[in-house]
Every structure is written in C-alpha cells, then in structure tokens.
Amino acid sequence: MDWWFFFEVVVGGLLSGVMYSLVALGFVLIFKASGVFNFAQGAMVLFAALTFVRLLEMNIPMLAALGLTMIVMVILAIAIERIVLRPLVNQDLIILFMATIGLNYFIEGMAQLVWDSDVHVLNLGIDEYAGFEIGNAFINKFDVWAALIAGVLVLILSLFFRYTVIGRALRAVADDHQAALSVGIPLRTIWIYVWSTAGLVALVAGVVWGSKLGVQFAISTVALKAIPVLIIGGFTSVPGAILGGLIVGCGEKLAEVYVGPFVGGAIENWFPYMLAMVVLMIRPQGIFGEKIIERV
C-alpha cells in the first residue's frame, strides 16, 4: 500500500470535509435556535453566491458586493420570518420542515429568475489546481484556503455565541423557547438574527463552493451532502458539524478510492447517507448531539 497516497487521500478528504461543514453550519444555527430543520439552506447558498457573482460582474468592487449581498441575505431572513415562520409558529416541526422544502424550491426558482441559470466563474485569485507537496503527497492549495476560511468563520461564530448579548439570547432560546420568552427575549427578533446569520454563513459557503465548482445550480445540491454531516455530528452542535464534515469528507474519499473501483464507482453520492444511517441506528442524536429524552 502506498502510504503517501493514503495520506494524500485523507488530507484531501478532510479538506473537502471542511467545505461540507461550512454548509452544515448554517443548518446547525437555525436548528439550534428554532428546532427547524431548514431544507432551504442549499438554496440560500445558491442565492447568496449568485447574487455575489452577478454583482461582481457588474464591476462592483468585491467588498461592496460582499456588503450588498449581506444586506440582501438579511432582507431575505426578515422576509422568511415574516411570511413563512411567523404564521407557522407552534406548528409541528415536521410541518415546518416541509415548509422549508417549499422555501427551497421558491428560493431556487427566484435565484435563477432574478439572476440567471448560467455557470458563472468566480475567481478569488487562488488557482484551484495549484498545490504543494508534503513528501510524496500532493495537497491542493485552494482546499487549504477553504479550510482556513471555514476555521475562521467557526471561530467568529463561537466567539459571537459566547460573548455577545445576542449570542447569549440565542443560546437561551435554543435551550428553552418558553423560558426565553418569559424572561423577555423577543423570539421573532432572535429568529431574524439566526436566519440572517445562516444567510451569511450561506454566503461564505457559496463563495467558497462557487469558486471551486463555478456558481451554478449544482451548488444548491451541496446541501444534500450536509444532511448526513448533521446526522453524524449532531444537529445541535457546532463542533459536531465540523467533525461530521471531516468524517464524511474523509470517509467518502477513502471509500471512493479504495472501495469504489470494485463496485463501479461513484459511491460518493450515497456513502455518506449509509454512514449516517449506521450512526442513526447506534446513536440517534449524533456524536455531539444532546440525548433526546421522551417523557411518558
């Protein structure tokens, strides 16, 4: 066995896993604060990336485009809270889940209607094929950058959660909606914050994925990869999302390289799901998730 090659696969897997974590992070934020599994996160990634890239194409400077896109994502969050979440408050979570599937379709349609459905090249100034070697293993430079960006984002979010007033309120809401309401935390405002934050995370994820794959419809399906990540890591845990992403990224690459050739390849599509199923059977709440206790 070529151990350098194995090392290369593992590192490549871990780095691409970080990119999954990036998408999963958006899910975790919303789930933590509202118990809603937001199926539309993928569509939000697409929408953010498309908005950003089209603004760039209008020769708006990068920072201004970034700022404008952020504003758009906040407006989207406010609209979602007002139009979708508020009327559905106190409904079964499964109803809310299905509503986000509807939202997913709506945003996907809107993103492509407002902008377009072509493939846009997003160049952040990093050559996506360049890399360096450690021993005999080739490491992709772009992936390292993506991992760094994800790392910084996680750090910022953790600090935000821990040290700001809003962050504390978010954690309170996540623990107990009723209790949070009773001490005067406005739930609706919190939801807007959370969905906005998830929108910003979607923007970061969209920019990173967009510059790797090109900004196109396909990046909204990246969200489907994030679901097993969540199952494995636990829906309520930020570190869980990171670890889950690493496990999925690494696992699927290893499976593809070492098992794939024997079964016809392309097992990347379902392997994470099978892994997630195994986790579900053994530990339904995921690695970092809180144990679900049902009272009789």
Residue range at the interface with other proteins (CB under 8 A); choices 47-55, 105-113, 184-192, 236-244: 105-113
What is the C-alpha separation between 230 and 206, in angstroms, rounded? 18
Kindly identify the residues of this chain, within the stretch 225-254, that bind other proteins according to CB under 8 A: 227-228, 231
Residue-by-residue DSSP string for 135-174: TTEEEEHHHHHHHHHHHHHHHHHHHHHHHSHHHHHHHHHH
Give me the amino acid identity at 101: I
Helix (H) or strand (E) holding 87: helix 86-88
Site string for other proteins, 75-104 (x = CB under 8 A): --------xx--xx--x-xxx-xxx-xxxx
Site string for other proteins, 134-173 (x = CB under 8 A): ----------------------------------------
Among 5, 132, 258, 270, binds other proteins (CB under 8 A): 270
Q: Is the dihedral of CA 159, 161, 165, 168 positive or negative?
A: negative
Which of 31, 30, 26, 32 lies closest to 49 in space, CA to CA?
26
Q: Which residues contact 109 (CB under 8 A, 6 or more apart)?
A: none
At closest approach, how far in Å is the CB of 270 from other proteins? 4
Task: Say which DSSP state 218 is in.
Answer: G
Q: For other proteins, which is the closer residue by CB, 106 or 145?
A: 106
Could you say whether residue 113 binds other proteins (CB under 8 A)?
A: yes
Kindly identify the residues of this chain, within the stretch 40-79, that bind other proteins according to CB under 8 A: none
Applying CB under 8 A, the residues found at the interface with other proteins are 37, 83-84, 87-88, 91, 93-95, 97-99, 101-110, 112-113, 117, 224, 227-228, 231, 263-267, 269-270, 273-274, 276-277, 280-281, 284, 294, 296
